[in-house]
Each structure stands twice: as structure tokens, then as C-alpha cells.
Amino acid sequence: MSFYDKVRRQKFLSFSLILFTLAVGVLIGTLAQTGARAAKEQAVAPDATPLTIPSPMQTQSEFAKIAKRLEPSVVNISTEYIPKKETTTENRPQSRRRVMPQQQQDPDDQGDDSNPMEQLFRRFMGQGGGMEAEPDDSPSAALGSGVVVDKNGYILTNNHVVDKATRIKVKFTNDTTDYPATVIGTDVDTDLAVIHVDRKNLVPAKIGNSDALQVGDWTMAIGSPFGFQATVTAGIVSALSRDVPGAESNSTFQHFIQTDAAINPGNSGGPLLNINGEVIGINTMIASRSGGYQGIGFAMPINTAVKVYNDIIKEGHVTRGSIGIGLRTDNNSDLLKVYGAEHGVFVVKVYPDSPAEKAGMKVEDIVTAINGKPIYKGQDLIDIVADSSVGSTLKIAVVRDKTAKTLDVVVGERTKIFAEQYGGVKPGAPEAAPEAMQVKFGMELRAITSAMRDQMHLKSGGALIASVEPGSFADDIGLAKGDVIVELNRQAVNSTQDFQKIQGNLKPGDSVAFHVLRQAGNGRGAADWQPLFLAGRVPEGNQ
């Protein structure tokens, strides 16, 4: 190696040493600065270990699995009520309430007691469960829930969710479309309804068996509380076969599952599920002083709902048997003993013309068995009779005056035996007022029934003016609501059909005369009918 090579090598080594020294210095300085900064940052808690966020990893539980599986099966239901425009006020409904009605005595039930707890119990529609009544002539809207039970679009919900609704819309989770729905049938006694949407290949929820439930079992509720769709809550079964004081008027058929799963206004009609994700109830009501969740909710058992559903899709309504009796509320052993029975239910009323009356049953009879099955409480009798086919014969064992008897009772249809309770006309009741009929000249006429004629002290014939349009021809010539037309152009009017026939021959410009009777009080509690003769010329348009 030459002298110059040695010099160059020495210079290279020196330069490398300087660079290394500088790098080490920079590294030491950086570490020192970082340590100082870290020490400064942890000055508040120098002995605390910083937390770290782990890599994302999805956790899973049975509740999460159920919620995911039921997501496409639980729907949001929105309803609108738009009243029809009325021309008269006589047939206008009174009011539409969202308050749980007071419990009434139910035929074939155990009594007529009311309960001070009634104010605790409220329906839970999306309006917040308010206590005020809404007039039926005012538009309204509400929200509820439902559960798909058939892939072809059939949905179970509560009757009070869709009751009186003019328009029903269904919305599915993760689908912004509002699907119009129609009511297939309802059942007031259990507050259940079946509706249908025109959408195929839906995912129906799996039906469970509510008879398998035990107090303490896990439950989940899914619905749209306060409009928040697909809300999931969990709890346990708090009680079974709960009879709720102040519930729907026909609480004879309402024996609820009680749960503490949080349910609120808007959950109504949604499913209550077991830990296997099976529907074991339809959420129906809550007990609340405020209208919101307070840990007590009630669901109609799915076994009851399935029976109702099957009847509705087959017949359009639910048919229940009845024999037409009223039963004592309590099973007083001393009372039964005095009347000669060890067990049974005491008959306090036998309804006129009912199957029980026709079979010879009497007040103070004690029903001890039906078709050989012992009866210990009123619900035993109600369940057997309600599930019996209409027209079938039951052998009912009774004790009367300490003597055992057997009566053959033919089961009747509940809605017919108690027609008045179900919105029909009670047998033997006065005739309902016929609906008003629009006729020419700007007025409405109503037929006069025999009962109306007796009440009005009319001898015969006539057609009652139900309303007169202001400014019309009828108004101009002096006709008024309450007048009875007995002649039109000297031809007798004994019915609304007579009037229509006569007026059909009149043309604009023809003279027309009315012979009417107008009522005036006579001070003796009755009324005098004063004859009036009114006339005019038929206007253009013959209105």
C-alpha cells in the first residue's frame, strides 16, 4: 500500500468515525427528548399504564342472534283515521279513545266488579298513550307494530292498532317503502287482528308454544316504541295467566304473559320472544302511571293468538260458543255449601231466550261439571263453552236445591246471544232509526218506523224530513227538519219510496205543493201536529 493510499484510508476512517459519533448523539438526544416528553405527559399519573384499542372482533350473544334473525319479520304499522264528511249529525260517532276502557260485566263471566287500578292500564299507541278522547270527526294518526307469520304477507297485530283506521301502511326494517295493508279480520275479545300486505316471499317469524313458559324465563320484545323502528329490549317472564283489572271490556278471554322487558307506546302488536327466538306472545298493553315503561308489560299468549288467527283466515272472524249466563265473581265455599254443592260456580243470571234458559237452567243453580269434567271456577266453564262448536250439545251438571240435575244445553254463538254487546241489535229491542235518504229539492228524508210513529204520536203514513240544505228550494218554501210530509201534489206519501216516485214525474217549472205536519207542544207531555201547506215552482236543475 502506497503512502497516498494510507492517507486516503485514514481520512475515510476519520470521516466515518465523525458520522457515527454524530448519529449516536442524535439518537441519544431523541430518546432523551421522548422520555422527557413522556414523563411530562404522565406527570399527573406516572404509574398508570396507557390503554390500547384491540383489533376489531365481533362478539355474539343469543340475544344478538335472535334480533338479527327477527329483523325482517317485525314491522312498523302506521294508521290514519280520516272521518267521512257528514251531512247530518244524528249518526256521527261519539268519540275515539286511546284509553283502556273500564272493565264491564261480561256474559258467561264471573261478575261485574270495577277496579280502582283501572287508571294504571293504558294501551300503547304511538301517540304516547294520552288519556284524552279524540272526537271521531277529527283526523288522527297512530303507530304500532306487527309480526309477519306467513310468507304471503299475513301479519299479526293488535285490534286497537288498526281499529277504525281509514288507511294502514306497513314498513319493513331497512326498507323505506310504505306498503298499503288491508284488514283480514279482527277479534275484540282478545284485541288481536290479522292484516295483509301485497308482498311475497316474506320471512315469517317462528311460532312457539306459550304453554311451555315458566316465570323467570328470558324474553325479548321487538317493536317500534315512540316510532323508533326495530327496537329490541330484553327481560324475563314476570308472571303467567295474568288477569288485568281495567283491561279490555271482554277480559274473559284475556289472560296475559307479564314481562319486565321494556315496552312502550308503539310496541303494541309486536312480538314477545323466548330465548330460542320463537314468538310466544303479542305485546298488548302496559301498566303505567305516566304512560311509559315502568317494568310491567302484558302480552297475549301466542297459543291464544294462533287460535284467533286460524279462525280469521278461515272465516274472517272468530266464533265462540256461549250459553248465556252470568256467574258469581268468587267461589264462596259457604255459599256453595248452603246450596248443597262442594264445588262449582254459582249462576247469578240467566239471559232471556238464551240456550241456558231454553234448557231450563235457573238462577241459584250451581254448575259442577260439563261433559263429565269438574268445574271449580268460572274460567273453567268459560273455556269449555267458548271452545265448543256452535250447535253442539253440552251435558251440564248442576245442583239445584241440593239436588243434582243434568241439563242438555245447545251451545249458541256468543256474538248473537249478546248482540248488543258486540255492536248488533238486541233481540226485541226497538227498531233502529233508518238512515236518511237524499232526495230532490235540497233535503233528506227518513222512513218512519212503527216505534217512531208511536213516540211521535202519529196516526199513520208520512216521511220524516231529516235535514234541509240552507238556501235550497225546500228551505225557500219553508220546509224544516222534523216536518212530516204526508202529501206531495195531493198524492199520499206513506214512505220515502212514495215521495221518490212522485217527484220523479216533476219537471223544472212545474208547480209543486207539500202537505206537511209540524209538531207543536201542547203542554200535556205529548205533542200536537199542525197541518201546513207549502208550495213553489220546481227550479232549474230540480234541486
Q: Where are the domains of the chain?
A: 67-103+116-204+259-315, 321-417, 437-537
CB of 396 within 8 A of CB of 409?
A: yes
Grid cell 263429565 is found at 372
Please tell me which of 112-126, 190-204, 518-532 the model is most confident about, judged by mean pLDDT.
190-204
Q: Between these two residues, 305 and 85, which has the higher pLDDT value?
A: 305
Least confident of 85-89, 260-264, 324-328, 403-407: 85-89
Q: How far is CA 424 from the centre of its chain?
A: 19
In angstroms, rounded to a whole number, what is the distance separating the alpha carbons of residues 435 and 444? 10
Q: Are strands 437-439 and 443-446 parallel, antiparallel or unpaired?
A: antiparallel
Least confident range from 55-59, 371-375, 502-506: namely 55-59
- Kindly indicate the confidence band of residue 531, based on its pLDDT and cuts at 50, 70 and 90: confident
Confidence tier at 372 by pLDDT (50, 70, 90) = very high
Which residue has 231529516 as its cell numbers? Answer: 466
Instruction: Cell 258469581: give the residue.
Output: 328
Q: What is the pLDDT of residue 148?
A: 94
- pLDDT for the residue 416: 83
At 125 the pLDDT is 44
Q: What percentage of the chain exceeds 90 in pLDDT?
A: 30
b/e map of 346-372 (b: 16 or more CB within 10 Å)? Answer: bbbbbbeebbbbebebeeebbbbbbee
Residues 540, 508: Cα–Cα separation, whole Å: 5
Helix ranges (DSSP H) in 274-353: 302-315, 333-338
Burial class (CB in 10 A: 0-12, 13-18, 19+), 271: buried
Has residue 158 got a pLDDT over 70? yes
Rounded to whole angstroms, the Cα distance separating 302 from 213 reads 11
Q: Which of 206, 309, 303, 221 is nearest to 258 (CA)?
A: 221
Domain 67-103+116-204+259-315 shares a fold with domain 437-537: no
Report the topology of domain 437-537.
Pdz3 Domain (2.30.42)
- pLDDT tens profile 203-242: 999 999 999 999 999 999 998 888 788 889 999 999 998 8
- Residue 497 — pLDDT band, cuts 50, 70, 90? confident
453-475 per-position pLDDT tens digit: 776 777 777 899 999 988 889 99
pTM confidence score: 0.60
Judge whether residue 97 has pLDDT over 50.
Answer: no
| Closest residue by Cα to residue 102 from 83, 121, 89 | 121
**3 state DSSP class of 143:** strand
pLDDT in tens, 328-338: 877 788 888 88
Span between the terminal Cα atoms of the chain, in Å: 135
Please tell me what DSSP assigns to residue 400. Answer: E
Predicted pLDDT at 193: 93
Which triple of cell numbers denotes residue 368? 259442577
For the chain, give the percent of residues with pLDDT over 70. 73
Residue 317 confidence (pLDDT) above 90: no
The rounded mean pLDDT for the chain is 78
Cell of 518: 209540524
**How many angstroms separate the CA atoms of 452 and 89, rounded?**
18
For the ranges 250-254, 415-419, 529-533, the lowest mean pLDDT is seen at 250-254
Cα atoms found within 13 Å of the Cα of residue 487, Cβ hemisphere only = 10
* H or E element at residue 287: strand 279-287
Alpha-carbon distance of 305 to 289, in angstroms, equals 28
Rounded Cα distance, 482 and 467, in Å:
8
Nearest partner of 424 among 289, 308, 317, 267, judged by Cα: 317
Strand ranges for 288-365 from DSSP E: 297-301, 321-322, 325-327, 345-350
Q: Is the pLDDT of residue 352 over 60?
A: yes
Average pLDDT of the segment spanning 246-255: 61
Q: Which CATH superfamily is domain 321-417 in?
A: PDZ domain (2.30.42.10)
- In DSSP terms, 527 is beta-bridged to 521
121 pLDDT above the threshold of 60? no
- Residue 81 is predicted with a pLDDT of 82
Residue 87, pLDDT score: 39
Is residue 438 over pLDDT 80?
no
For 250-262, the DSSP string reads TGGG--EEEE-S-
pLDDT at 521 exceeding the cut of 60: no
Considering only 50-59, 312-321, 344-353, 355-364, which range has the smallest mean pLDDT? 50-59
The CA distance from 281 to 264, in Å, is 16
- Three-state SS string across 51-95, please? CCCCCCCCCCCHHHHHHHHHCCCEEEEEEEECCCCCCCCCCCCCC
Identify the weakest region by mean pLDDT among 48-62, 105-119, 354-368, 380-394. 105-119
Per-residue pLDDT at 504: 85
Position 424, amino acid: G
With contact defined as beta carbons under 8 Å apart, do 354 and 412 qualify? Answer: yes
Residue 172 predicted with pLDDT over 90: yes
pLDDT of residue 92: 37
Domain 67-103+116-204+259-315 fold is Thrombin, subunit H (2.40.10)
Determine the average pLDDT of the residues in 103-122. Answer: 41
Q: What residues act catalytically?
A: 160, 191, 268
The yes-or-no verdict on residue 384 having pLDDT over 80 is: yes
Residue 440 in contact with residue 543, Cβ under 8 Å? yes
> Are 220 and 233 spatial neighbours (Cβ–Cβ below 8 Å)?
yes
